[in-house]
Amino acid sequence: MAASRQHRYLAQAQGPRTIVLVTDGEETCDGDPEAVIRELISEGYDVRLNIIGFALDDPILEQIFSAWAQLGGGEYFSAADKAGFDQAVGQALQVHYTVLDAVGQEVAQGQVDGEPVALPPGNYRVRVGLVPELMLEEAQVVSGQTTAVEMD
């Protein structure tokens, strides 16, 4: 199947898209994932590609998958067993957010329930990568205090 025909499913979704590719390392599709990733980017799709390598014991393949994930704006996760796979899926599907300053410039990124981001005092907006996208209009950071933003 041609790569551009596969994109019809992505085109139907609105907003940012997360793709999770699970692989055992065996190539059976005669495809070119790197070319498809580059094509998605060049066509302007807002995608994040996370790759989960399940029960891989080949460091070269893991390097390739890690590079593909990075190219697709995502991460590579290694899973040796069911527990590791469950954890990797949870990480691969985490929701990301972007912090915008008063003029709308991106100043930080993070993951919901992930590590905190350090910001100077000020007023910010937080764009949460859900579909539909969620925008938290007022997040005030005060010097010397930790600010937590909660979503309903």
- Answer yes or no: do 100 and 121 share one domain: yes
- Answer yes or no: do 104 and 57 share one domain: no
Q: Cα 30 to the chain's mean position, in Å? A: 26
Q: What local confidence, expressed as pLDDT, does residue 119 receive?
A: 92
| Number of domain units in the chain | 2
Average pLDDT over residues 52-67: 94
Average pLDDT over residues 126-135: 77
Q: Does the residue 148 lie in any domain?
A: no
Kindly calculate the radius of gyration of the chain based on its CA atoms and give it in whole angstroms.
18
Q: Does the residue 152 lie in any domain?
A: no
pTM of this structure? 0.66
35 vs 146, higher pLDDT: 35
The residue range of the domain holding 125 is: 96-141
- Answer yes or no: do 23 and 42 share one domain: yes
Spatial distance between the Cα atoms of 26 and 19, rounded to a whole number of angstroms: 19
Q: What local confidence, expressed as pLDDT, does residue 15 receive?
A: 64
Q: What local confidence, expressed as pLDDT, does residue 3 receive?
A: 46
pLDDT band (50, 70, 90) for residue 5: low
The CATH number linked to 88 is 3.40.50.410
- Answer yes or no: do 22 and 64 share one domain: yes
